[in-house]
A and B are shown apart, each in its own frame.
Chain A
Amino acid sequence: MKILAANRLTDGETVWLGAGDCWVESIDAAHVARDKEDEERLLAVGKGGLASNQVIDVTLVDIETVEGRIHPLRLRERIRAGGPSIHPDLGKQARLNARSAA
């Protein structure tokens, strides 16, 4: 299974392609491609995002699902999805923590 990751052009924020082909800031909202055909489609949409200057560095990321949640296979992508492991107070993980605490 794969998802499509990129960084937003204006601020570099890591984003994934989600439902309705929108770029989303949380990996939980990423669209999961379960077959080659869907992967091809993700890549085509990603190419479009690159061409329309929304995103850069578009790549497919290998994932599995753990208890229904998206879990990238590589540590690199897991850190990218949360933020620096040394700074739980920074990056996406901080926003999630703040939301769950509220």
Chain B
Amino acid sequence: MYRYDEFDHAFVKARVEEFTDQVQRRLSGELTEDEFKPLRLMNGVYLQLHAYMLRIAIPYGTLSPRQLRKLAHIARTYDKGYGHFTTRQNLQFHWPKLTDIPRILEELAEVEMHAIQTSGNCIRNVTADHFAGAAADEVADPRPYAEILRQWSSLHPEFTYLPRKFKIAVTGAERDRAAIEVHDIGLHLKKNADGELGFAVFVGGGLGRTPMIAKKIRDFLPEEDLLSYVTAILRVYNLNGRRDNKYKARIKILVHETGTEELKAAVETEFAALRESELKLPEADIRAIEAYFAPPRLKARPEGDAVVAGAVQKSPAFARWVARNATTHRNPDYACVTVSLKGIGEVPGDASDDQMDAIADIAERYGNDEIRVSHEQNLILPHVARADLPAVHAALVEIGLATANAGLVTDIIACPGLDYCALANARSIPVAQEISQRFASPERQEAIGDLQIKISGCINACGHHHVGHIGILGVEKKGAELYQVTLGGSAREGSTIGEIIGRGFGPDEIAGAVETIVETYLSHREGQEETFFAAYRRLGVAPFKEALYGHEARAA
């Protein structure tokens, strides 16, 4: 993985010193809250309901065991013994004291981490496919490009005060696991007919109060032009994006109001002027960054098939886990393991300090020293020998993280919601917990098959509800929580925004409503091969509406 060079170290150290001084000046009263707030936000420090919150960047979701241990240490020493992994592949601590944050940032810098640009109207942490560099269906590892974008965008003077925040996601596979079509810029790394690497460029996707699917404005951008083209997009946005209304300030609104063709023309004009500038990426520089992401030397482990087959025979729990949580690796002796942070009834995305330490140990022993955070709020061990899967499973059982539910109905995305967040209108986590408990039976989950439930506690949509197969949005109505349901969303290639199905449900009704939806799917599907999403596309909303509201319509 990427290692800081001298410049990176000096840059992060200087930033920690600067923010430490700002915190001191705030505590002494030299800075007012109005002066300090934008400074703390630029360093990932929010104020929530019970305490401050510190959001730490995990670039493209890649972590080393050493870094994960440091996060465990911070959780244990400065927080309340746990951390929350987010849909932007970051980690949030929900209880840090302002007085401790300078020391936390110093500790993070020791392991090449920081909290810069995890808030504010700037280019945020660049996200990527969590199976990057390991997946069998990948053209090339997208992380070198994500790293190039990270370096270029860090404290970029021109793009520090954008109209609004700006999120970029990169994937290197046809199967989009990075939700690129719901990002401000989505980059799909691919090869052209001549075998050269480049990108399909999507722009103007986003969730929040006005969900939009991104428009493709380039089918193939040569890799050397990455920064010139992205700069061109950012310039057009920075100049023309709306600053009069926060809710209309994202690039998706600019794309929508300008029209894709006109926006594309403006970007191309800017790009023509930039193309031969210093932004052109020299081949040697791309390959130098790429070298940091050289795949680990994976030893031949041909005994994997026999070991897995034997373990499957012996243990139904292992069989279920390997079927759901092990994904095809490009090396047939290996697998990508999903460590589910979605234990039945647990808080989606939370991991304790001890669990983080244990996963770091497992990654060192069996995982070639790599850990990833997925936007689905799970952890990934991208390079595990199939022959070691029984040992990894056993180690995960020990720490309560062997739930065999990747991609199933209980693998729920949920934002922190009103239990923590100052912006939320309703709780998300208890809804996730109740649904998880209702569908706890592994047999029932397996019978239901692939199904993504995504829950947000407010319209800002951190829980990606718009692109859940079943999406749940919590709102506040007359002082009480109310949950609106959308169906048919997807964040995969050819993303779709879910449709609102009807009136909302109270906190005591919502899990039952989800169960009704799932039962309706089961009774209408054309066989187990037809997933919930496919069945919904075929059936439309009608049978689900009838199941949920039919009796009311008849009564009325």
Chain A: how many interface residues by the 8 Å CB criterion? 26
Q: Of all chain A residues, which has the CB nearest B30?
A: A53
A7 near B47 with CB under 8 A, answer yes
Closest to B94 in A: A84
Is B419 a contact partner of A9 (Cβ separation < 8 A)?
Answer: no
Known: A10-B98, A11-B98. A79 touches B47 (CB 8 A): no
Please name all residues of chain B whose beta carbon is closer than 8 Å to the beta carbon of A91 when the two chains form the complex: 50
**Number of contacts between A and B (CB, 8 Å)?**
77
Chain A residues, CB < 8 A from B480:
75
Contact yes or no, B51 A84, CB < 8 A: no
A11 to B480, CA, bound (A): 29
Question: What mask results when residues 1 to 35 of chain A are scored 1 for a CB within 8 Å of chain B, else 0?
Answer: 00000010111111000000000000000000000
Closest chain B residue to A62 by CB distance?
B479
Q: Which residues of A contact B542 (CB under 8 A)?
A: none
Residue pair B50, A10 in contact (C-beta under 8 Å): no
Establish whether residues A10 and B419, one from each chain, have CB atoms under 8 Å apart when the complex forms.
no
Q: Are B99 and A10 closer than 8 Å at their CB atoms?
A: yes
Bound-complex Cα distance A14 to B418 (A): 15
Segment of B151-159, B161-169, B215-223, B426-434 in the binding face: B426-434
Whether the pair A13, B51 counts as a contact (CB closer than 8 A) is yes
* Interface residue A99 (Cβ < 8 Å from any Cβ of B): no
Please give me the residue from chain B that is nearest to A76 by CB atom.
B418
Determine chain A's interface SS by DSSP, over half rule.
Answer: loop
- A12 and B50 contact, CB distance less than 8 A: yes
**In-complex Cβ contact of B50 among A9, A50, A84 (8 A):** A84
**A52–B32 CA distance with the chains assembled, in angstroms:** 9
CB contacts (< 8 Å) of A42 on chain B: these are none
Q: Which residues of A contact B48 (CB under 8 A)?
A: 12
Q: A12-B97, A90-B80 are in contact. Are A84 and B52 (CB under 8 A)?
A: no
- Asked whether any CB of chain A lies closer than 8 Å to the CB of B316, the reply is no
Known contacts A11-B97, A75-B481, A76-B418; is-contact A85 B427 (Cβ 8 Å): yes
B interface bracket (residues with beta carbon within 8 Å of A): 20 to 34
A86 part of interface (Cβ distance < 8 Å): yes
**Closest CB in chain B relative to A101 CB, distance in Å:** 19
- Chain A residues lying within 8 Å of B80, measured Cβ to Cβ, are 90
Q: Are A79 and B33 in contact (CB under 8 A)?
A: no
Taking beta carbons and an 8 Å cutoff, which residues of A are in contact with B? 7, 9-14, 50, 52-53, 56-57, 73-76, 79-80, 83-87, 90-92
Lowest 8 A-B CB distances belong to which pairs? A11-B97, A12-B51, A84-B419, A12-B52, A53-B29, A80-B49, A56-B33, A86-B429
> Can you name 26 A-B pairs with beta carbons within 8 Å?
A10-B98, A10-B99, A11-B51, A11-B97, A12-B47, A12-B51, A12-B97, A12-B98, A14-B49, A52-B29, A53-B29, A53-B33, A74-B476, A75-B479, A75-B481, A76-B425, A79-B49, A79-B427, A84-B419, A85-B419, A85-B430, A86-B347, A86-B419, A86-B427, A86-B429, A87-B419
> Which residues of B line the A interface, CB within 8 A?
26-27, 29, 32-33, 47-52, 80, 95-99, 347, 418-420, 424-427, 429-430, 433, 476, 479-481
Known: A9-B26, A56-B47, A86-B433. 7 other contacts (CB 8 A): A7-B47, A12-B47, A50-B33, A73-B479, A76-B418, A80-B49, A91-B50
